[in-house]
């Protein structure tokens, strides 16, 4: 069937995505908009987020808010709610990362990543709850394989993403009876992203990362958007409190060696 005649699976649904001025989350926003959703995106920098929104379509709402600022993210959620109506799909994906050994990291460096990734995710979900379309809303956090297995020079990101994984389980239990499913997606290395530019900046490092993966390649932003769509629709109606790995086998570890 030509795309022009394919039904849009998210027609009329309202989506709010935190941390979507670039990368995976902007890719999710673009794809969900193409599926008929009304999309609001937020990140720290006004110029960057409004340009990102405009790059998708004129009706996408770009809002400046730092996930570390509860009142700021709550105001952004309220603005999206007032423009589009109750939020059906809430995605928390803001993150910061850099490679640094723990001994090369100040207390503030560690805290900064915990504040953006973990506390920021709590803020987005906690503030977002009030604006969700209940029952039936789906809350989705973006975690990473580092939340389940340690990685060199990423003590901050590993701890933060492990916290998101546990938060997903706790909120899944608490909010299921209230009509909200809470899940997370764990992307593996995704091509053309800031994350991989930071973690594997040279062609040699990229080849090494791919060589260790069971599926031997980077994923795409669309691979992650597909998982968001699944978690956003009734196809996943009996799924909550879980982390979906879309990671080419990254969580499994080094797929070259028997030990
Ligand atoms: P990215 O393009 O740098 O995306 C991060 C986003 O978060 C940006 O839009 C950034 O926008 C926003 N952000 C950062 N700090 C923020 C804050 N305090 N408040 C609000 N927004 C903030 O990176 P990416 O690689 O696509 O990563 C996206 C997500 O996927 C992250 O959660 C990351 O951990 C996860 N992930 C990525 C990979 C990968 O291969 N890239 C793998 C596993 C998991 P502003 O700078 O405009 O605020
Ligand atoms: N190594 C060690 N410490 C570092 C560092 C690095 N590469 N980069 C930053 N830090 C430290 C800073 O020195 C500072 O600590 P200090 O006050 O003790 O000096 C602390 O981290 C906070 O840095 P700052 O630049 O003030 O934070 P910020 O809030 O402006 O930015 C970051 C947050 C550091 C995470 C920044 O990299 C960022 O904005 N990232 C978003 C994009 C991204 O990371 N994308 C990939 C997602 S997976």
Domains annotated on the chain, with CATH: 11-246 (3.40.50.720)
Q: Using a 6 Å CB cutoff, which residues line ligand 1?
A: 19-25, 43-45, 48-49, 66-68, 93-96, 116, 120, 142, 144, 187, 189-190, 193-196
Backbone angles phi, psi at 217, to 5 degrees: -155, 160
Q: In this structure, which ligand is nearest to the CA of 209?
A: 1
Cβ 176 under 6 angstroms from ligand 2: no
User: Mind listing the pLDDT tens digit for each residue in 5-62?
Assistant: 788 999 999 999 999 999 999 999 999 999 999 999 999 999 999 999 999 999 999 9
Other C-beta atoms lying within 10 Å of the C-beta of residue 148: 18
Out of 53, 95, 158, mutate this one to test ligand 1's pocket (max ligand atoms within 8 Å of CB): namely 95
Query: What average pLDDT does range 170-182 have in this prediction?
Result: 98
Helix 155-175 × helix 120-129 angle, to 10°: 20
Atom of ligand 1 nearest to the CA of 67: 19
What whole-number percentage of the chain has pLDDT above 90?
A: 97
> Residue range 232-258: average pLDDT?
97
Interval between CA 221 and ligand 2 midpoint (Å): 24
103 lines ligand 2 (CB under 6 A): no
pLDDT tens digits, one per residue of 82-127: 999 999 999 999 999 999 999 999 999 999 999 999 999 999 999 9
pLDDT band at 199 (very low <50, low <70, confident <90, very high): very high
Sequence-separated (6 or more) residues with CB below 8 Å from residue 234: none
Helix (H) or strand (E) holding 63: strand 61-64
Instruction: Indicate the average pLDDT of the chain.
Output: 97
Q: How confident is the model at residue 1 (pLDDT cuts 50, 70, 90)?
A: low
Question: Among 216, 250, 70, 256, which Cα is nearest to 143's?
Answer: 250
Whole-number pLDDT of residue 95: 98
Q: Tokens 């009996």 correspond to what residue?
A: 238
Angle, CA of 144, 149 and 150, to the nearest 5°: 105
pLDDT of residue 2: 66
In this prediction, residue 152 has a pLDDT band, given cuts at 50, 70 and 90, of very high
Mean pLDDT of 189-212: 98
């Amino acid at each position: 069937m030509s795309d022009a005649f394919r039904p849009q699976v998210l027609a009329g649904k309202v989506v709010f995505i935190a941390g979507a001025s670039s990368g995976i989350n902007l890719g999710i926003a673009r794809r969900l908009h193409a599926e008929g959703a009304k999309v609001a995106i937020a990140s720290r920098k006004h110029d960057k987020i409004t340009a990102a929104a405009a790059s998708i379509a004129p009706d996408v709402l770009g809002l400046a808010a730092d996930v570390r600022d509860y009142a700021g993210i709550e105001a952004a959620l309220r603005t999206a709610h007032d423009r589009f109506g109750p939020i059906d799909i809430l995605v928390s994906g803001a993150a910061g990362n850099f490679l640094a050994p723990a001994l090369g990291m100040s207390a503030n460096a560690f805290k900064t990543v915990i504040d953006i990734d973990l506390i920021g995710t709590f803020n987005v979900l906690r503030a977002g709850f009030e604006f969700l379309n209940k029952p039936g809303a789906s809350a989705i956090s973006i975690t990473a394989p580092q939340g389940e297995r340690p990685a060199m020079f990423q003590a901050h990101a590993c701890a933060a993403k492990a916290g998101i994984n546990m938060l997903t389980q706790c909120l899944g239990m608490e909010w299921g009876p209230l009509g909200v499913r809470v899940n997370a997606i764990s992307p593996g290395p995704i091509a053309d992203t800031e994350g991989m530019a930071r973690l594997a900046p040279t062609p040699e490092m990229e080849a090494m990362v791919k060589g260790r993966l069971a599926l031997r390649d980077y994923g795409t932003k669309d691979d992650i958007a597909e998982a968001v769509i699944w978690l956003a629709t009734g196809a996943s109606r009996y799924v909550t409190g879980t982390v979906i790995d879309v990671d080419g086998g990254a969580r499994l570890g080094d797929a070259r060696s028997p030990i």
